[in-house]
Chain A
Amino acid sequence: MELLIKNGFVYDPINGVDGEKMDIAIKDGKIVEKVNERRAKKIDASGMVVMPGGVDIHSHIAGGKVNSGRLLRPEDHFKDFERKTAITRSGVGYSIPSTFTTGYRYARMGWTTVMDPAMPPLEAKHTHEELSDTPIIDKSSYPLIGDWWFVLEYLRDGKIEECARHVAWMIKATKGYAIKLVNPGGLEAWGFGRNVKNIDDPVPYFRITPREIIRGLCKVNKLLNLPHTIHVHTNNLGKPGNYVTALETMKCVEDLAEDNKPVIHITHCQFSAFKGDDWRTFESGAEEIANYVNAHSHVTMDMGQVIFTDTTTMTADGPFQYILYTLSGNKWVNHDVETETSAGIVPFHYKRKSYVHATQWSIGLELALLIKDPWKILMTTDHPNGGPFIAYPRIVAWLMSRKAREATLKKINPKARSRSLLPTIDRELGFYEIAIVTRAGQAKALGLKNKGHLGVGADADIAIYNFNPETMDPSKKYKALRRAFKRAAYTIKSGQVVVKDGEVLKHIEGATMWLDVQTSEEAKITEEMKRRFKEYWTVEFENYPVSEDYLAISQPITVKADV
Chain B
Amino acid sequence: MFVNLYPLKEFKLPIVAECINPDIFQGKSQKEIEKLGVWEGNKQKRLGELFKVEVVKEEGFSETTVITIHGNASRVRRIGAGMKSGEIIAKGDAGMHLGEEMRGGKITVYGNVLGWAGSMMKGGTIEIHGNAGDYLGAPYRGSTEGMKGGKIIVHGNVGNEAGAHMKKGLIKIYGNAGQFAGFRMHGGTVYVQKDCCGRAGACMTDGTIIVGGFLESVLPTFTIEGVRKKVKIEEGEVVEAPFYLFLGDLTENGRGKLYVAKEPNPHLSHYEKLL
Q: Which residues of A are in contact with B by a Cβ distance under 8 Å?
A: 72-76, 78, 330-331
Please tell me if B220 contacts chain A, counting CB pairs below 8 Å: no
Question: Interface 1/0s, chain B 160-187, versus A by CB < 8 A?
Answer: 0000000000000000000000000000
A74 lies within 8 A of B144 (CB)? no
Report the bound CA distance from A330 to B145 in whole Å.
11
Q: Which 3 pairs between the two chains have the least Cβ-Cβ distance?
A: A75-B143, A74-B142, A75-B142
17 interchain pairs (CB within 8 A)?
Answer: A72-B142, A73-B142, A74-B140, A74-B141, A74-B142, A74-B143, A75-B139, A75-B140, A75-B141, A75-B142, A75-B143, A75-B144, A75-B145, A76-B142, A78-B140, A330-B144, A331-B144
Tally A-B pairs: CB < 8 A.
Answer: 17
Rounded to whole Å, the gap between the CB of B186 and the closest CB of chain A is 10
Rounded to whole Å, the gap between the CB of B124 and the closest CB of chain A is 20
Closest to B139 in A: A75
Rounded to whole Å, the gap between the CB of A556 and the closest CB of chain B is 40
Report the bound CA distance from A73 to B140 in whole Å.
10
Closest to A330 in B: B144
Report the bound CA distance from A135 to B141 in whole Å.
29
Closest to A347 in B: B144
Question: Interface 1/0s, chain B 130-153, versus A by CB < 8 A?
Answer: 000000000111111100000000
Report the bound CA distance from A74 to B141 in whole Å.
6
Closest to B143 in A: A75
Rounded to whole Å, the gap between the CB of A288 and the closest CB of chain B is 37
Q: Which residues of B contact A78 (CB under 8 A)?
A: 140
Q: Which residues of B contact A76 (CB under 8 A)?
A: 142
Q: Which residues of B contact A330 (CB under 8 A)?
A: 144
Report the bound CA distance from A331 to B184 in whole Å.
12
Q: For window 116-140 of chain B, which residues contact chain A by CB distance below 8 Å?
A: 139-140
Rounded to whole Å, the gap between the CB of B1 and the closest CB of chain A is 30
Rounded to whole Å, the gap between the CB of B159 and the closest CB of chain A is 19
Q: Which residues of B contact A72 (CB under 8 A)?
A: 142
Most buried by B among A72, A75, A330: A75
How many of B's residues come within 8 Å of A, CB to CB? 7
Report the bound CA distance from A72 to B143 in whole Å.
10
Closest to A77 in B: B142
Report the bound CA distance from A76 to B142 in whole Å.
9
Rounded to whole Å, the gap between the CB of A351 and the closest CB of chain B is 13
Rounded to whole Å, the gap between the CB of A346 and the closest CB of chain B is 12
Report the bound CA distance from A188 to B144 in whole Å.
32
Report the bound CA distance from A331 to B141 in whole Å.
13
Q: Which residues of A contact B139 (CB under 8 A)?
A: 75
Report the bound CA distance from A522 to B223 in whole Å.
66
Q: Which residues of A contact B144 (CB under 8 A)?
A: 75, 330-331
Q: Which residues of A contact B141 (CB under 8 A)?
A: 74-75
Rounded to whole Å, the gap between the CB of A9 and the closest CB of chain B is 39
Closest to B252 in A: A329
Rounded to whole Å, the gap between the CB of B187 and the closest CB of chain A is 15
Rounded to whole Å, the gap between the CB of A72 and the closest CB of chain B is 7
Q: Which residues of A contact B143 (CB under 8 A)?
A: 74-75
Report the bound CA distance from A76 to B141 in whole Å.
10
Report the bound CA distance from A330 to B144 in whole Å.
8
Report the bound CA distance from A228 to B141 in whole Å.
42
Closest to A73 in B: B142
Q: Which residues of B contact A74 (CB under 8 A)?
A: 140-143
Most buried by A among B139, B140, B142, B145: B142
Report the bound CA distance from A72 to B144 in whole Å.
12
Closest to B39 in A: A83
Rounded to whole Å, the gap between the CB of A330 and the closest CB of chain B is 7
Rounded to whole Å, the gap between the CB of A71 and the closest CB of chain B is 9
Rounded to whole Å, the gap between the CB of A332 and the closest CB of chain B is 12
Q: Which residues of B contact A73 (CB under 8 A)?
A: 142
Report the bound CA distance from A330 to B143 in whole Å.
10
Q: Which residues of B contact A75 (CB under 8 A)?
A: 139-145
Rounded to whole Å, the gap between the CB of B58 and the closest CB of chain A is 37
Report the bound CA distance from A110 to B119 in whole Å.
37
Other 4 A-B pairs with CB < 8 A, given A72-B142, A75-B143: A75-B139, A75-B140, A75-B141, A331-B144
Closest to A71 in B: B142
Report the bound CA distance from A72 to B141 in whole Å.
10
Rounded to whole Å, the gap between the CB of B265 and the closest CB of chain A is 32
Rounded to whole Å, the gap between the CB of B122 and the closest CB of chain A is 16
Report the bound CA distance from A331 to B143 in whole Å.
10
Rounded to whole Å, the gap between the CB of A190 and the closest CB of chain B is 25
Report the bound CA distance from A70 to B145 in whole Å.
18
Report the bound CA distance from A76 to B139 in whole Å.
12
Report the bound CA distance from A74 to B143 in whole Å.
7
Rounded to whole Å, the gap between the CB of A238 and the closest CB of chain B is 21
Closest to B141 in A: A74
Report the bound CA distance from A75 to B120 in whole Å.
12
Report the bound CA distance from A355 to B206 in whole Å.
26
Report the bound CA distance from A74 to B139 in whole Å.
11
Q: Which residues of A contact B142 (CB under 8 A)?
A: 72-76
Report the bound CA distance from A460 to B2 in whole Å.
59
Q: For window 99-119 of chain B, which residues contact chain A by CB distance below 8 Å?
A: none
Rounded to whole Å, the gap between the CB of A449 and the closest CB of chain B is 44
Report the bound CA distance from A330 to B252 in whole Å.
12
Report the bound CA distance from A331 to B145 in whole Å.
13
Report the bound CA distance from A167 to B222 in whole Å.
54
Report the bound CA distance from A234 to B98 in whole Å.
48
Closest to B205 in A: A329
Rounded to whole Å, the gap between the CB of A261 and the closest CB of chain B is 46
Closest to A84 in B: B42
Rounded to whole Å, the gap between the CB of A69 and the closest CB of chain B is 11
Rounded to whole Å, the gap between the CB of A350 and the closest CB of chain B is 15
Q: Which residues of A contact B145 (CB under 8 A)?
A: 75
Closest to A83 in B: B42
Report the bound CA distance from A246 to B86 in whole Å.
57
Rounded to whole Å, the gap between the CB of A174 and the closest CB of chain B is 31
Q: Which residues of B contact A331 (CB under 8 A)?
A: 144
Report the bound CA distance from A342 to B140 in whole Å.
30
Report the bound CA distance from A78 to B140 in whole Å.
8
Rounded to whole Å, the gap between the CB of B152 and the closest CB of chain A is 20
Rounded to whole Å, the gap between the CB of A139 and the closest CB of chain B is 28
Report the bound CA distance from A221 to B144 in whole Å.
44
Report the bound CA distance from A73 to B139 in whole Å.
12
Rounded to whole Å, the gap between the CB of A327 and the closest CB of chain B is 15
Rounded to whole Å, the gap between the CB of B138 and the closest CB of chain A is 11
Report the bound CA distance from A75 to B144 in whole Å.
9
Report the bound CA distance from A308 to B142 in whole Å.
21
Q: Which residues of A contact B140 (CB under 8 A)?
A: 74-75, 78
Report the bound CA distance from A78 to B144 in whole Å.
14
Report the bound CA distance from A74 to B145 in whole Å.
13
Report the bound CA distance from A331 to B140 in whole Å.
15
Report the bound CA distance from A533 to B5 in whole Å.
68
Report the bound CA distance from A509 to B256 in whole Å.
54
Rounded to whole Å, the gap between the CB of B101 and the closest CB of chain A is 10
Report the bound CA distance from A74 to B140 in whole Å.
8
Closest to A331 in B: B144
Rounded to whole Å, the gap between the CB of A534 and the closest CB of chain B is 38
Rounded to whole Å, the gap between the CB of A84 and the closest CB of chain B is 9
